[in-house]
Amino acid sequence: MATRAAQKRLTREYKSISENPPPYIRAHPSESNILEWHYIITGPENTPYHGGQYWGTLIFPPNYPFAPPAIRMHTPSGRFQPSSRLCLSISDFHPRSFNPAWEVSTILIGLLSFMTSEEMTTGSVSASETERKYLASRTRWWNSTGGGSIVKTDTAKGGKNQVKAGDGGAKFKAEWPEIDLENWAWIREHKVDPATGNRAVENNGASCGPQLGIAAGSGHQAHAVVDAVIQQREAGQGWLFKNKLFLAGAAIFIYVLIARLVGEGSS
């Protein structure tokens, strides 16, 4: 249970961060426990996390602000181990280095700064830029489906503060209902399979040749196809090849003309 000082301090900080949220950051305390805060970091531009939706928790000690919170990021990012405690100078790994003047916004700005660096610590992982971009594209799906899992009646029996794939997105929905609705609208719009996170691929039939780039449904589609085939056929061909019929006709005409002249000379 939070001390009176912690309760007062966190209430004030919630008001402050709601009115003036830092860039790329949203956060609020759980309705049932003011010591349990949930945050979402939106991946900044010019980073592998751009557009990603990274959800995590801050678990404050009862004597906050005289001790730091445990920091976790639940959404797979390629930067941190999902739901693992992070060893940072602003986390509970280093209580002696924590400054009571630091607020929730200070902590989350520090987390974002560390996330976009390559410094390693307990709870961080190495991944390529491609892997991190791929995970960023799946964050909305992961948050709202729990990684494609199905809600079970016993999922709440898991470890304390361990929000991993397996809860069907129930915890995220409880804490971020409006964002969860937006995520599901995004999942439907982009035809993402809720079970796998993969986008559906429309199969309009396999092609055995190069595509001509002609839009379907055009009223002049047949003519366009013929023109494209002719253009491809004529590409790279010389003047003699393209005019072979004309040359053959001219040769026959000259041959006949010469034969007549020779015949008239003989007579």
Q: Catalytic positions, please?
A: 87
**How many angstroms separate the CA atoms of 37 and 13, rounded?**
11
Query: How far apart (Å, rounded) are the C-alpha atoms in residues 122 and 117?
Result: 14
Question: What are the residue ranges of helices labelled H in 70-213?
Answer: 104-115, 129-137, 139-145, 170-175, 177-189
- Using CA atoms, how far residue 72 sits from 65, 85, 131, 233, in Å, is 18, 5, 20, 62
d(CA 22, CA 16): 10
User: In terms of residues, how long is the chain?
Assistant: 267
Do 149 and 166 form a contact (C-beta atoms < 8 A)? yes
* Helix H or strand E encompassing 221: helix 221-234
